[in-house]
Amino acid sequence: FLEKVEEAVVAAHRPEPDAVLAARERADAVIAGMVPAKQVARRLPTVSVYTDTLEGVGAALRGSARTVYFEPADPPVPALLEEAAALCRAGGADLVWKWPSITRRAFLDAAAPLLPSLYDAGVRGVMVSGVGAACAVRGAEPRMHLYGAAGLNVWNHRTTQELAPLFLRCTPSPELPAADLARLAELAGDSPALEVLVQGNTEAMVTEDRLTAVPGDRFLGLQDRHNRIFPLRSDSESRVYIANAVETCLIDHLPRIIGMGIDAVAIDARGRGPLYTEEMVRLYRAGVEAAGRGDRDALNGLKEEVKERALGGITGGHFVRGLTG
């Protein structure tokens, strides 16, 4: 009888999952506020943008992005990349050619020979999702900086140690919970630099099937029976990428991200148009500044502005929920 009473008392006082999540978020805010001011000021991250159009490049620059990952939907055209590089150079930003997540031999044979002349034209970086593609870049143009995309599946500091000789900057897996990301950043040190994807409809699936022609000038998505819309886009290899129906949004978690010493935060604006791109860059730049001065009220207001522009709502994803959420 007493055991049953004890179980009932424990169950009555066990917090609901929502209460646990809220407590975790409050703890994150307190921990972030404990970061020494000099550390925050020294490691304020820059803002990067993924885009797939030249108009998106211009919008990112108007928002004052520092790095632009440019992944044209059409097969690589040197003149387009050179024009984007010239825009970035004039805007004080770095232009990085984002390669498709899957790079087969035909793409490598076409893209690698372009690298020396592109480097001379101002394209000083390439982002890849695999070590094989990275080696192809290094072999074709040793001067080219390498950036690691989320497709590298960087989960721990041992991976970053292996990648450090090749990569200038890497993006840890978007599935990493905040505590694991903090541990990775602590053990990884300063090489390679780390970048966190903080905004956008992250990739859920890549298919070789051509579901439909995905135009570059208008939005296209898949709608399920719950009326959720999953954005579609295609790459230069005609693969179709299916993104999550809800946007990742970590703007209110910037204090903790800054406390980890993360070097850059990234917005995925591919398929979203120049207006979204420019406004999101401005919001996140304001968010970084607000987090740097400890202005939680400003961050809450910026989160509401992000929510108004987000496709399908917003979520903290695995960063907040962990892997079991």
Report all structural domains of the chain as residue ranges with CATH numbers, in order of start. 34-317 (3.20.20.70)
Full-prediction pTM beyond 0.85?
Answer: no
Tally Cβ neighbours within 10 Å of residue 231. Answer: 24
Give pLDDT, residue 37. 38
Q: How far apart are CA 122 and CA 87, in angstroms?
A: 10
Give pLDDT, residue 7. 63
Query: Can you list the residues of the chain whose pLDDT is less than 50?
Result: 31-41, 325
- The token pair at 36 is 């020494």
Structure confidence by residue, pLDDT tens digits, 147-164: 999 999 999 999 999 999
- Strand, helix or coil at 150? helix
Axis crossing angle, helix 78-91 with helix 54-62, rounded to the nearest 10: 10
Give pLDDT, residue 23. 65
Instruction: Quote the mean pLDDT of the chain.
Output: 87
Sign of CA dihedral 62, 147, 132, 248: negative
37 pairs with which residues across the strands?
A: none
Phi, psi of 47 (to 5 degrees): -110, 130
Structure confidence by residue, pLDDT tens digits, 60-105: 999 999 999 999 988 888 999 999 999 999 999 999 999 999 898 9
What is the enclosing helix (H) or strand (E) of 205?
strand 203-207
Q: How far apart are CA 112 and CA 134, in angstroms?
A: 10
- The token pair at 115 is 């690298």
The string of DSSP letters for 188-221 reads HTTSSEEEEEEEE--EEEEESS--S---SSS--E
Over the Cα atoms of the chain, what is R_g? Answer: 21
Q: How far apart are CA 294 and CA 276, in angstroms?
A: 26
CA-based nearest residue to 105, from 130, 123, 126: 130
